[in-house]
Structure 1
Amino acid sequence: MSAISVLPYAATLEHWWEQLRGESGRLRFMAWKVLEVVAFCGVWPRARSSRTNQTPTAWLPPPSRPNNAVGAAPSVVVVVPARIQTASDATRLQSLLVALASQTRWAHVVVVDDASPRWPQTQNAEVIRLPHNNGPAAARNRGLQRALELSAEIVAFTDADCVPDSAWIEKIIQAFHLDRSAHAISGATLSKDQSWLGRYHERNGTLNGRRLAGSECLLYGPTCNLALCADLAAVLRFDESFPFAAAEDIDFCCRAIMTGWQIRHSTHAVVWHDFGYDQQGVVGRLERFWKQFRKYGHGERVLLQKQPDYPRLFAFSQEIPVCEREQA
């Protein structure tokens, strides 16, 4: 997520203005970036937050945990939280399950139904039905518990509106083997939408992590494309007080890196995310965009209550360059 509210607004816009220099869609992108800022904050940004007037001090990571112990042929469990409310939701879930069943490397799939009002026929997956809708953090925790019961060496997370590349699981395993200091792998998340707004999210890095400056460690990786080794999965859980899918993954990752766990990026572990714009008209796309960033803004407010150091961490992190994501 582009956590713009922890930055001076003028600096945010100036950053993108320079980043897009020479690109034909510069003005169009900037218009949507302004709308993103407004939606994220809920009000017109007339003044900077007082915390952005302070020069942040450098963040020193704690000593790293022991290397991951992922074996040569590890057991992998994929956890998918799902709340199915519409026919489109059901179609997306089916597409995900087909993609997971077609992987070059088999994995056990656990779908956690977060008290959906409707539920489609599902194949090639274990389904856990929750009696109450408590949000994706609680659903992921239930799936994580089941993965540990199955003795998973790797627990991979994705979402019901995603389609992983056919080699996604294979590339996650390779990433753990190539970098033994990695305890979590955050892959490259690209837009499945063909509309311009889909490309906006991809260029914006909405669903890609951020790398800590001067380090290979990430500040966070979104849970639509995140995998944990067993040691990390055994000790850390998602904070279930986050009410919806916004910033609960950032909180999880912040707690991980603050206690010595290392998150790495893999350009080759690719997931395609369906933002849902292709099925909408102009007004529908605008509403969807607005609601998404309003939700992110609400999530970040909860995050800042729980992680007051997050602005400092963000200030010493960098978005993963678009060129890295395009290599995937």
Structure 2
Amino acid sequence: MGSCLPDGFGFALAERVRVCDGGAQLVADGRVVRLAPAAREVLAGAPRAVGADPTAHRVARLLLDRGLAVPWWPGPAPAEADVDDVTVVVPARDRATSVDRLLAALPSHLPVVVVDDGSREPAALAEVARRHGARLVRHPVNRGPAAARNTGMRSARTPYVAFCDSDVCPEAGWLGVLRRHLDDPAVAVVAPRVLGGEPEAGDTWIDRYEQARSSLDLGPTPDLVRVHGRVAYVPSAFLLVRRGALDEVGGFAETMRAGEDVDLVWRLLGAGWLVRYEPAARVRHDHRTRLLPWLTRKAFYGTSAAPLAARHASAVAPVVLTVPSAVLAVSLLAQRRWSGPVAAAVVAHATLAGRRRLGGSAHPTLTAGTLALEGAVATAWQSAAALTRHHWPIAAVWALHSARGRRALVVAALAEAWADRTRTRPRLDPGRYLLARRLDDLAYGAGVWWGVLRHRSPRALLPQVRLRGRRSR
């Protein structure tokens, strides 16, 4: 949004960014950013606060807005007692025991609004709110979490609101860590890392899988939220928001029972706001860990794809490719004699095209070749994920009628689970991790297809093919 940063605000390069040519170029996510000499001098001091240097402000703003840098501060986060401009909103339907636990874990000086969204036993929830000094607002009938959050936000009197679902419990220190992100006037929402329960000796295989691979856990690396980015949304289980930004876009969509958090984030991004993910703040979530409720929840998440596609079109696309990467994906899936040469030709073409764009680089061929190989790996990963998740019914039909289909599906299922287990390092043996991973994808994909059939639109299943890839700038 081009907003000015406070002098005490700083930046550090994101972990995935590579510095090339002595700081003249930054490479990340298939993009190459060239820096002027003055910008290189600013970057040489990173991590750093911007201070009163106007060049540092401009460089930091550019890098932060493009996800190439993450916020950084020279000192510790503010103490919880020093943050007094946040109201906590807790949407709940019954679950008095969980709400009691949550309210006990919140900083005692923060105002709290509990929104009873049509509880069947309202007296129990009212007693919990009274005991903790929270304000209670009641919906006579259940209207859904989006409406409950909007009601709570309208009841708040502070410029910032923390939305906390009743089945989460924050770890100490979250308030100061999240609140300082909103000192950047361009940021509308910041979200913590949402983890499962603490590991215990009696955990089931689903417990252990969720502890490593929860749908709500977006990983240990801070990032800027971007459509089709590494972090494409943040869950509404726990959010700290700028009220003015949510008022600008109309708050949560009350007609949506699933995916309302994704919809809100994408509308904010479309309005020019920034949304950040900050895993240094952590909350614990009560995951479903019995088989049938677990699968049902995964399918429920999948049902949000169709209504999101109706609102945001290609933002929901399960596969995003350029024309060359689409050719690469088809050649890999075809498994013909020409597949290898075609794949090699695509990588070579991408390398040559990148080299022409990087003519001013000290090592244009190496940089372009690295980007081309990274793109090829990303294409293979997307193809495997499509076969085992969104498009598994199509893949299953293909496998029933074709040896190539069976081979592609088996390789995708095993390779994706192996790579994912290597990355997440769960307390779970390979066999049960493979089973859990595939059940997770089958349930989610079933939810996607159910939503597609119910809304009579295949848009949530369609790939997006971009006519042009990302260019250097």
Fold conserved (TM > 0.5)? yes
The structure 2 residue matched to 1:220, chosen from 233, 239, 261, is: 233
2:182 is aligned with 1:176 = yes
The structure 1 residue matched to 2:113, chosen from 101, 110, 114, is: 110
1:274 aligns to what? 286
CA distance 1:127–1:214, shift in 2 (3 Å): closer
The 1-side partners of 2:226 and 2:266 are apart by 15
Conserved 8 A contact 1:110-1:128? yes
CA distance 1:259–1:214, shift in 2 (3 Å): closer
CA distance 1:313–1:289, shift in 2 (3 Å): closer
Deviates most, 209-218 or 295-304: 209-218
2:194 is aligned with 1:189 = yes
2:165 is aligned with 1:159 = yes
Matches for 1:67-146 after TM superposition, within 5 Å: 73-84=83-94, 89-101=95-107, 106-119=109-122, 120=124, 121-122=127-128, 123-146=132-155
1:310 aligns to what? 315
The structure 2 residue matched to 1:239, chosen from 212, 235, 253, is: 253
The 1-side partners of 2:119 and 2:142 are apart by 8
CA distance 1:113–1:214, shift in 2 (3 Å): closer
User: Percent identity among equivalent residues?
Assistant: 30
2:280 is aligned with 1:288 = no
The structure 2 residue matched to 1:250, chosen from 262, 277, 293, is: 262
Q: TM-score, normalization: structure 2?
A: 0.45
* Structure 1 gaps, min length 5: 1-57, 59-63, 65-70, 278-284, 324-328
RMSD: 3.5
The 2-side partners of 1:213 and 1:185 are apart by 13
Shift of 1:131: 1.2
Shift of 1:199: 3.6
2:455 aligns to what? none
AA aligned opposite 2:301: Y
AA aligned opposite 1:79: V
The 2-side partners of 1:225 and 1:197 are apart by 23
Conserved 8 A contact 1:110-1:143? yes
Q: Deviations over 1:110-145 (max 9, x none)?
A: 111001001322123111011111110111110111
CA distance 1:296–1:73, shift in 2 (3 Å): closer
Conserved 8 A contact 1:217-1:262? no
Conserved 8 A contact 1:115-1:133? yes
CA distance 1:259–1:295, shift in 2 (3 Å): same
Matches for 1:8-19 after TM superposition, within 5 Å: none
CA distance 1:314–1:239, shift in 2 (3 Å): farther
The 2-side partners of 1:252 and 1:129 are apart by 23
For these two proteins, the number of residue pairs brought into alignment is 236
CA distance 1:305–1:110, shift in 2 (3 Å): same
The 1-side partners of 2:173 and 2:273 are apart by 25
CA distance 1:252–1:145, shift in 2 (3 Å): same
Shift of 1:272: 0.5
AA aligned opposite 2:110: A
Secondary structure, in 3 states, of the residue corresponding to 2:237?
Answer: helix
The 2-side partners of 1:197 and 1:252 are apart by 30
Matches for 1:316-327 after TM superposition, within 5 Å: none
Q: Deviations over 1:122-170 (max 9, x none)?
A: 12311101111111011111011112xx1x1211111001101122222
The 1-side partners of 2:188 and 2:215 are apart by 23
AA aligned opposite 2:118: A
Q: Deviations over 1:192-229 (max 9, x none)?
A: 26434234234324114585579999532111121112
Q: Deviations over 1:246-305 (max 9, x none)?
A: 21100110111111110011122211001143xxxxxxx111111101211222222222
1:23 aligns to what? none
Matches for 1:19-30 after TM superposition, within 5 Å: none
The 2-side partners of 1:166 and 1:307 are apart by 36
AA aligned opposite 1:128: V
* Structure 2 gaps, min length 5: 1-30, 32-64, 66-77, 322-377, 383-422, 425-473
Q: Deviations over 1:59-104 (max 9, x none)?
A: xxxxx7xxxxxx98551011111011xxxx22111111111145xx
Comparing both chains, which one has the higher relative contact order based on Cα–Cα distances under 8 Å and sequence gaps of 6 or more?
A: 1
Q: TM-score, normalization: structure 1?
A: 0.63
The structure 1 residue matched to 2:302, chosen from 290, 297, 303, is: 297
The 2-side partners of 1:229 and 1:249 are apart by 15
The 2-side partners of 1:137 and 1:314 are apart by 28
Secondary structure, in 3 states, of the residue corresponding to 2:254?
Answer: coil
Shift of 1:107: 1.6
CA distance 1:253–1:199, shift in 2 (3 Å): farther
Matches for 1:54-65 after TM superposition, within 5 Å: none
CA distance 1:214–1:146, shift in 2 (3 Å): closer
Conserved 8 A contact 2:98-2:167? yes
AA aligned opposite 2:237: C
AA aligned opposite 2:101: S
CA distance 1:249–1:301, shift in 2 (3 Å): same
The 2-side partners of 1:185 and 1:217 are apart by 16
The 2-side partners of 1:231 and 1:168 are apart by 22
Structure showing greater Rg: 2
